[in-house]
DNA sequence: TATGAATGAGATTTCATTCAT
DNA sequence: TATGAATGAAATCTCATTCAT
């Protein structure tokens, strides 16, 4: 077959690559397999992306763009922390559902070591860390959130729970783990998961030590 | 004498293997490199562990044993949830410091996909999930912990935070991420990290929404 | 008009091909590179020349034609050996200057092995060998050239020096070698080269060992 | 077969490599073919020589060493030019017979272009050029050789004839060419070739212009 | 028994050639 | 008709595994 590689085929290449890299890692992924899965010749794969490393980077970039898009959508609207958290959780749950491959790749990369991993961290977490810390500090100033905790740490724990939320939705290990803890799959339990996480966060973020309950 | 030497070699092999597999993944790891790092011949490596897969499994088992040991130590003593949480956090922080390689391998495996990952989840998380849920349910019954949340979910979020705590101590991505959120390295900030996490958990676990049920 | 364009393209293709084959050899040459250099599509290249081998042959033929033309020009005019040698040397020096690519290809082919190389030898050297031997034998009969040497051998050594003269003008190795022996580039030293080569040949071809036969 | 690669096998690898590179060029040579010809696995070939380029260099170095050895043997003994020339010619004829592969590789490399070819020229010809020019200048000073020619040019033409002598013995093109000029193969005609070349050189080097024959 | 050189299947990558546009 | 993107066979190179020493 010699027809021009359609947009759609390039799309399929990236999808297949994201999936394969997420599953097998950079070293374990097989370029021929990826090309076959995408229904494209190896030559075409190399023509478009140069080499394995380059193709890997393209898959990664694609994942990051998708994640950025989701976050941008949430971040845009001004809101209090509660509303804000709810929106993020819902957005990430949807992202997990719709772009499981990206999350898997993200999880795999975060697990890999070396300079690349550190750079990736700066690339991905740089934005969110500042964003969360800012929003939380504002919430503290407004009296909406507890003042007895370091906003940086609050943001950190918040993001920890969100990262785990995503992995739970997409990665085999984390899905199975969810089943052990809560029964069922993350999808079936999505509503419950969202509700309970919000309760958990609500308490963690608003309760102030010494029993002095912050005004609702 | 000879046996001792052999055991020491096996030890070194596992250490080297854990490190290499954590860093490069199963596919990316190089058996010759591992043998060289351990100062052992490739032949010996194969003699003891059969093949790459088998050696990988041995490295994994070793990591799990170490983790089990730590948890067993903590679990043994009866205590209230607060004390219990403090002990686990401290134990895991120490584990991260002393057995970074194991945690890295654990992180890498959790990120990989497939049936193996699911089995691994059952193997690792089966114990802790029941343990945590039980302890939490007891705490709720005793009135120490909030009753308006599913104990399974509470346990799940608790473990989420603990997993992230471990990754934060050992894996490049997560370490850099910590730096972005909180500044400094997890080691330098260990005390602060422990303190704030406890505060966070304290609130999340004990605050009850005073009957004001979060709107559905 | 269209035909003219096409012919110009074919011309450019051959030029590019001669250069690439001379530099990289048949195996090392890249058809896409050649087409691009000539500003022609790969499809056109294949349309005109069938395949790589065929195109290579066309490049070769073109080189041989050019060489034939030069020799024909020289050979046409009747003259004594001295005059004859001078003309050939000048013609080859000019040919080297103007058609360096052809000479380079010739050199590369002569260096390659196999049946093709042998056929090429017959094709190229068949004419000149008979021509030189004949002219030299005539010179000997006329008393212009020494009689104590085999005319075939004289012709052979003569052509040896002429081949080296051409390579010296065009090929990197031989150019550098000239610099080491004589200083400067063959172009700068063209006059000197011509003069000295003529002196060398004059002596080699006319000196007779005065009956003192070199001891066996 | 897993026995240790004997000296002899490494030897065979280099022999096979020299032959293949001489015949096919760097690009055209096939590493698998070379390994097979030498009766050695591809892995072993790569273990010893790193990559194709490195193996090529090793083949080249081996050829140069062999050539150096021959020249060193000739150069050692002090002698007049006639004796000297006879020795070199004989040595090179023998070298061609015994190390045809090296000469073929040498010929192929000299035909290739680029910086490598220039460096190779300096490496190979640097020694001989100075040596020949020195010996010839000494001969001129002693009155043994004609004084009306540039010693550098004399040395250059001398080496030209010697290079062609070697190619004639080993390379398909040059062998066929010899047959066309002189009939028979260079081996069968070795004695005649040597004798006639010496006569040719004798005249070219001792005859002085203007008919004034140099004293014998 | 322990070693590590040798093996060769399999991975990445290139490029002559085709043919839909 | 002319183009050049797509193809996929074949090349280079790696590395898990074996087994002669």
Contact B28/A25, CB-based, under 8 Å?
yes
Proportion of chain C above pLDDT 70, given as a percent: 93
- Residue whose CA lies closest to nucleotide F19 C1': D2
Residues 36-55 of A with CB under 7 A from strand E: 42-43, 46-47, 51-53
Using the CB atom, is residue A115 less than 7 Å from strand E?
Answer: no
Taking only the tens place, the pLDDT of each residue in B106-146 is 999 999 888 888 999 998 898 889 888 988 999 999 888 99
Q: CA–CA separation, C135 vs C157, rounded Å?
A: 14
Residue D189 C-alpha from the chain's centroid: 19
Question: Which domains are assigned to chain A?
Answer: 1-50 (1.10.10.60), 60-208 (1.10.357.10)
Q: CA–CA separation, C57 vs D185, rounded Å?
A: 27
pTM exceeds 0.85, yes or no? yes
Q: CA–CA separation, D155 vs D152, rounded Å?
A: 5
Mean of the per-residue pLDDT values of chain B: 88
Whether the pLDDT of residue A1 is over 80: the answer is no
pLDDT at D13: 94
Taking only the tens place, the pLDDT of each residue in B182-204 is 999 999 999 999 999 999 999 99
Q: CA of A111: which chain B residue's CA is closest?
A: B108
Mean of the per-residue pLDDT values of chain A: 89
Q: CA–CA separation, D82 vs B134, rounded Å?
A: 106
Give C6 CA → F9 C1' in Å: 32
Q: CA–CA separation, A137 vs A155, rounded Å?
A: 9
Q: CA–CA separation, B187 vs B145, rounded Å?
A: 30
Q: CA of C192: which chain D residue's CA is closest?
A: D153
Contact D152/C181, CB-based, under 8 Å?
yes
Using the CB atom, is residue D5 less than 7 Å from strand E?
Answer: yes
| Distance between start and end Cα atoms, chain A | 66
Using the CB atom, is residue A29 less than 7 Å from strand E?
Answer: yes
Which chains reach chain B with 3 or more Cβ–Cβ distances below 8 angstroms? A
Per-residue pLDDT of chain D (216 residues; tens, 9 = 90+): 444 557 788 889 999 999 999 989 999 999 999 999 999 999 999 999 999 999 999 999 999 999 888 888 887 767 778 888 999 999 999 999 999 999 999 999 999 888 889 999 999 998 889 888 988 999 999 888 999 999 999 999 999 999 999 999 999 999 999 999 999 999 999 999 999 999 999 999 987 654 433 333
Q: Tell me the backbone φ, ψ of residue B84, rounded to 5 degrees.
A: -60, -50
Highest mean pLDDT among A3-12, A17-26, B16-25, C153-162: C153-162
pLDDT at C5: 53
Q: CA–CA separation, B35 vs B44, rounded Å?
A: 8
Contact C152/D200, CB-based, under 8 Å?
no
Taking only the tens place, the pLDDT of each residue in C56-77 is 999 999 998 998 888 888 877 6
- Residue whose CA lies closest to nucleotide F14 C1': D43
For chain A, the farthest-separated pair of C-alpha atoms sits apart, in whole angstroms, at 73
| Tokens 């990430």 -> residue | A92
Give C50 CA → F2 C1' in Å: 15
Residues 22-41 of B with CB under 7 A from strand E: 40-41
CA nearest C104: which of C35, C175, C46, C54? C175
Instruction: Give the list of residues 6+ apart from residue A164 with CB closer than 8 angstroms, or none.
Output: A174, B160, B163, B164
Q: CA–CA separation, D81 vs D202, rounded Å?
A: 9
Shortest Cα distance, chain B CAs vs residue A158, angstroms: 9
Q: CA–CA separation, C167 vs D148, rounded Å?
A: 26
- Residue whose CA lies closest to nucleotide E5 C1': D4
Q: Is residue D111 classed as helix, strand or coil in its secondary structure?
A: helix
pLDDT at A214: 37
Instruction: Enter the tokens of residue A157.
Output: 């724990």
CA torsion angle B4 B5 B6 B8 (round to 10): 90
| Tokens 């009850």 -> residue | B208
Instruction: Give the list of residues 6+ apart from residue A14 with CB closer than 8 angstroms, or none.
Output: A58, A59, A62
Using the CB atom, is residue B137 less than 7 Å from strand E?
Answer: no
Q: Tell me the backbone φ, ψ of residue D41, rounded to 5 degrees.
A: -75, 155
Helices (H) and strands (E) in chain A — how many of each? 10, 0
Q: How far is CA D54 from CA C27, D37, D49, D102, D104, in A?
A: 19, 19, 6, 17, 19
Give the relative orientation of helices D52-76 and D100-111 as an angle to the nearest 10 degrees.
110
Helices (H) and strands (E) in chain B — how many of each? 10, 0
Contact A55, A31 (CB under 8 A): yes
**Which sign, positive or negative, has the C-alpha torsion D203, D206, D210, D214?**
negative
Q: CA of B26: which chain A residue's CA is closest?
A: A28
Shortest Cα distance, chain B CAs vs residue A43, angstroms: 24
Contact C171/D129, CB-based, under 8 Å?
no
Contact A181/B25, CB-based, under 8 Å?
no
CA nearest D163: which of C109, C184, C177, C124? C177
Contact A117, A72 (CB under 8 A): no
Positions on chain F within 7 A of a protein C-beta: 2-21
Contact A200/B176, CB-based, under 8 Å?
no
Q: CA–CA separation, D201 vs D198, rounded Å?
A: 5
Q: CA–CA separation, C205 vs B171, rounded Å?
A: 84
Chains A and B touch (3+ CB pairs under 8 A): yes
| Tokens 């058809």 -> residue | C31
Contact A180/B122, CB-based, under 8 Å?
yes
Chain C hits for D204, CB-CB cut-off 8 Å, are: 200-201, 203-204, 207
Instruction: Give the list of residues 6+ apart from residue D24 with CB closer than 8 angstroms, or none.
Output: C25, C27, C112, D30
Contact B186, B178 (CB under 8 A): yes
Mean of the per-residue pLDDT values of chain C: 89
Shortest Cα distance, chain C CAs vs residue D25, angstroms: 7
């Amino acid at each position: 077959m010699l027809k021009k590689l359609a947009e759609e085929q390039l799309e399929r290449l990236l999808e297949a690559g994201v999936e394969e890299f997420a599953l097998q890692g950079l070293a374990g992924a097989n370029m021929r397999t990826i090309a076959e899965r995408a229904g494209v010749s190896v030559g075409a794969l190399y023509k478009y992306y140069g080499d394995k490393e380059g193709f890997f980077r393209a898959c990664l970039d694609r994942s990051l763009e998708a994640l950025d898009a989701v976050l941008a959508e949430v971040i845009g609207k001004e809101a209090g922390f509660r509303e804000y958290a709810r929106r993020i959780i819902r957005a990430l749950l949807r992202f997990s559902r719709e772009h499981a491959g990206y999350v898997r790749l993200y999880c795999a990369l975060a697990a890999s070591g070396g300079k690349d991993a550190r750079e990736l961290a700066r690339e991905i977490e740089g934005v969110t860390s500042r964003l969360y810390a800012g929003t939380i500090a504002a919430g503290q100033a407004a009296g909406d959130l507890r003042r007895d905790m370091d906003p940086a740490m609050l943001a950190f724990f918040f993001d920890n729970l969100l990262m785990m939320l995503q992995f739970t939705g997409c990665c085999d290990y984390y899905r199975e783990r969810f089943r052990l803890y809560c029964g069922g799959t993350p999808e079936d339990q999505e509503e419950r998961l969202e509700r309970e996480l919000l309760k958990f966060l609500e308490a963690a973020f608003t309760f102030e030590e010494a029993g002095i309950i912050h005004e609702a």
